Amino acid sequence: MRLRLKDNVKKNIYLGLVFLILFLIAIFSIKSIVTMVKQKNNIEYKLEKHGYSEDDVKILVKNFNEKELDNLLNKKANKNITKFIKEKYYLKKNLDKYLTYYENNMDLTPTLVVALINTRSNEDWYTNPKDADTSKNNLLLVNKFNGLKEDYEPVLIDVSNWYSYGENNKLTEETYNAFKDMFNAAKADGLKIIATSCYRAYASQKRIYDTDVYQYGEEVTNESVAKPGFSEHQTGLAIDVLAPGTALSNFHETEEYQWLLNNAHLYGFILRYPEDKTNITGYAYESWHYRYVGKEVAKFIHENNITFDEYYAYYIAK
């Protein structure tokens, strides 16, 4: 009897162990199935299976909501998306425009594509222009897509002949005071920077534009002369400058020009139409045209090598 009892105990123990093992295997299997089902329903998993890399998925999940991610799954995977998201001046509202333009201009970098789209510089000049937002004061943007009314005139003060060539030069008071500070700083370094053209009314700009169109044609004129209402000179914030004995055409050869490249931002001015940014500004290089935006913004634009158009699109209009 004792031996049989021991045999039964052993048998029960073995059966219990087998049952426990089978039970654990079943639990593990169920958990694995549940995990697999959850994984297949997980958006990250779906995006990876759709063709996006692990790094791409992290960027997409961070930047898009659930609905937007679902929309991505309904389209062919486009790895260019994350190229643009990683760009410093990326604007989500322009993503589709970036992608379309990039597909048709693969020779351009994503950085340039972002700049062109943000500033509307990919569009034909003067198409669908908007009224410039005059409430922005020193950060008023006037370009080939943002214009001023014919009767717009800022509050102006006269520029002394001590600081300028010609008669009737006018600027906003803040711009004038900043220019005087810059003039005196250059003078202390043995240089002379003279204002030659400041505020220009709508009617004056029209005469200049119409004359150039008559002489050179509209296409050529539009590369260097603003249409009336679209000139920065109407803002009272822009100045054309010269050095003694020079013309606009050779101002870039002067010491004064080099001084301005290094110091204008310290007084709130920027070179408005740089040589390497013509495709963004819409204007040929003008070494003589400076625009007042205030010290803080001028410093940022200078240090980041961007145009005012780019700054406005990302930090103001955004």
Q: Does the annotation mark 286 as catalytic?
A: yes
Are 202 and 163 in contact, with CB atoms under 8 Å apart?
no
Cβ pair 97, 117 in contact under 8 A: yes
DSSP 28-74: HHHHHHHHHHHHHH-HHHHHHHHT--HHHHHHHHHHS-HHHHHHHHT
Contact 316, 132 (CB under 8 A): no
Rounded to the nearest 10 degrees, the angle between the axes of helix 173-188 and helix 255-263 is 120
3-class DSSP state of 175: helix
Please name the residues in contact with 24: beta carbons below 8 A apart, sequence gap of 6 or more: none
- Residues with Cβ within 8 Å of 34's Cβ and at least 6 positions away in sequence, in order, are none
**Residue among 190, 187, 199, 183 at smallest CA distance from 269:** 183
Could you give the CA distance from residue 162 to residue 292 in angstroms, rounded to a whole number?
20
Out of 232, 286, 296, 303, which one is annotated catalytic?
286
Q: What's the maximum distance between 2 C-alpha atoms anywhere in the chain? A: 130
Cα within 13 Å of Cα(310), Cβ side: 25
Tell me how far apart the alpha carbons of residues 66 and 259 are, in angstroms, rounded to a whole number.
Answer: 52
Residues assigned a catalytic role:
286
